[in-house]
Amino acid sequence: MLLKEIMGINDRYSDPSVAAGLVKKIEEISDTLSRQVRLMEVCGTHTVALRRAGIHSLLPAKVKLISGPGCPVCVTPSGYIDNAFRLIEKHNCRVASFGDMVKVPGSDGRTLSAHTGSGRIKVIYSPSELSALAAETTEAVVFLAIGFETTIPAAISGFRKALEEGRKNLFLYTAFKTVPPALQFLLSDESHMLDGFLLPGHVSVIIGREAYGFLERKNGIPGVITGFEPIDMLIGIETLLKLIRVGDARVVNAYKRAVREGGNPAARALMYDFLEPYAAHWRSLGIINDSGLRLSSRYRDFDAASVFSLAEETDAGAPGCLCGAVIQGKVTPADCGLFGKACTPDRPVGPCMVSSEGTCAAYFRYGF
């Protein structure tokens, strides 16, 4: 597609006059509701996009947006950071990581940024860098492999490239998470008070609409797959309200220009050629069955957790930090006594303020 055509699409999906019309429709539907409804935007990309566009400020009082556990940095337990320190300080590994993880505190408050000057940690921007990074040394190189379905195929592609080029010193310390089990976990709490999900467009490109079929079962709630332009998100909210009004627990794909019913089979095939599900540890949510992906037994020799006998991950948050409750939609950043005071993007206490997609960071930059 030509750049001019792409720009044209973006213009159409951020047209103020179209947005105004959608806001009016949302207000009209809201007037017919008997109570306030709570809509959870699942992913951090939506959290940022909704607030950057000011959509949260345009909605009527009966429509409340809350944030969910869709920020990979935010749901990674502190014990994962502790193990990254062990890889560096005990096993003398070189650690490769995306930038956000370097700023997340471990259980003792330290961050991996302490090692940025030592050469033991390398911030990368793409998994495609991993093979070249491993080629620079004979020492063990460990990639802190976190992320959801959106980024997992790229990470595995980079790992596969390294294997094909004969790198035997590259290991993955996986904290890959999958979205559907987390949503099922949230709904298993009878006190969840959720009325609908804004489902992430980028994750859905990989897994497809059909992966959310559990929402359509008995006691389910509606979900709408949306993109990240202002019009996309307003259409998603309007569609959700229509479903809620008539009690229709259905999953609607409102992002058909990118998401197919069955997602991207090739990307999923790549993932599951190298990975297998396991019961993963989520910050504050605990262990969720089949919610994580780790290297399968075929590639266990490259699994850092196995090769270096890393400790079982624990979950210790900083005193007073409510990040765990924030990612479950139980509180907002404003409820945390540290927010905007002891905890800011310049000196974050918890991962929700560290990550660029974290709820606290988004609320700090763009308001409530």
- pLDDT for 127 equals 96
As a whole number, mean pLDDT of residues 136-149 equals 96
75-179+263-307 fold? Rossmann fold (3.40.50)
Looking at every residue in the chain, the average pLDDT score rounds to: 92
- pLDDT for 117 equals 81
220-224, 228-232, 299-303, 313-317: which has the minimum mean pLDDT? 313-317
Q: Are 127 and 176 in contact (CB under 8 A)?
A: no
As a whole number, mean pLDDT of residues 30-51 equals 94
Band of pLDDT at residue 348, cut at 50, 70 and 90: confident
As a whole number, mean pLDDT of residues 269-273 equals 96
Q: Which CATH architecture best describes the domain 15-72+180-253? A: 3-Layer(aba) Sandwich (3.40)
Band of pLDDT at residue 108, cut at 50, 70 and 90: confident
pLDDT tens digit string along 220-251?
Answer: 899 999 999 999 999 999 999 999 999 999 99
Tell me phi and psi for residue 65, to 5 degrees. -90, 130
- pLDDT for 209 equals 97
Q: What percent of the chain has pLDDT over 70?
A: 97
Angle (CA) 150 326 235, round 5°:
55
As a whole number, mean pLDDT of residues 157-161 equals 97
Name the segment(s) of the chain with CATH classification 3.40.50.11750. 15-72+180-253
pLDDT tens digit string along 160-195?
Answer: 999 999 999 999 999 999 999 999 999 998 888 899
- Is residue 295 scored above 90 in pLDDT? yes
Name the segment(s) of the chain with CATH classification 3.40.50.11740. 75-179+263-307
Beta pairing, strands 275-282 & 286-295: antiparallel
Distance of CA 220 to the CA centre of its chain: 22
- Is residue 6 scored above 80 in pLDDT? no
Q: Work out the burial of residue 149: count CB atoms within 10 Å of its CB; fewer than 13 is exposed, 13-18 middle, 19 or more buried.
A: buried
Residue position matching structure tokens 């090769």: 307
What sign has the CA pseudo-torsion 85, 88, 90, 91?
Answer: positive
Alpha carbon distance 200, 46 (integer Å)? 7
- pLDDT for 250 equals 95
